């Protein structure tokens, strides 16, 4: 089992460009989460999903959209990237309390 995977691992964008981060899990987990991690801030929840076809806003959802068309995949979209979205993005999945994290995507917006 691969667990939770994220693509890409690293990306550089120019302000205004769009991109999609892909999270995939092979553990048949219902719950999936997108976080961003910034220095001195800790992990913050962007959006989450409690099942296929459902999504909900987290703590810092502005500027991001998500989709969960398939149970195993959770996509995070940036429609018009801004320098403030420079961060490390982590995806996680869970059956219940314990969350399993992906390796992260480092995004730099110039």
Binding site for another protein (CB under 8 A): 31, 33, 40-45, 48, 50, 56, 58, 90, 92, 94, 96-104
- Asked if 60 and 72 count as a contact pair (C-beta separation under 8 A), the reply is no
Pairing mode, if any, of strands 87-94 and 31-38?
Answer: antiparallel
Judged by CB, which is closer to another protein: 3, or 16? 3
Tell me: cis bond preceding 8? Omega within 30 of 0 counts. Answer: yes
Judged by CB, which is closer to another protein: 58, or 77? 58
Cα separation of the two ends of the chain: 36
Distance in Å, CB of 20 to another protein, minimum = 21
Distance in Å, CB of 105 to another protein, minimum = 11
């Amino acid at each position: 089992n691969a667990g939770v995977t994220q693509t890409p691992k690293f990306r550089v964008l120019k302000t205004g460009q769009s991109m999609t981060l892909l999270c995939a899990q092979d553990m048949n987990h219902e719950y999936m989460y997108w976080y961003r991690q910034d220095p001195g801030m800790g992990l913050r929840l962007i959006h989450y999903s409690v099942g296929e076809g459902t999504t909900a806003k987290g703590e810092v959802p502005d500027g991001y959209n998500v989709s969960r068309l398939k149970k195993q995949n959770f996509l995070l979209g940036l429609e018009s990237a801004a320098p403030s979205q420079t961060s490390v993005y982590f995806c996680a999945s869970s059956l219940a309390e314990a969350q399993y994290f992906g390796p992260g995507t480092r995004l730099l917006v110039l």
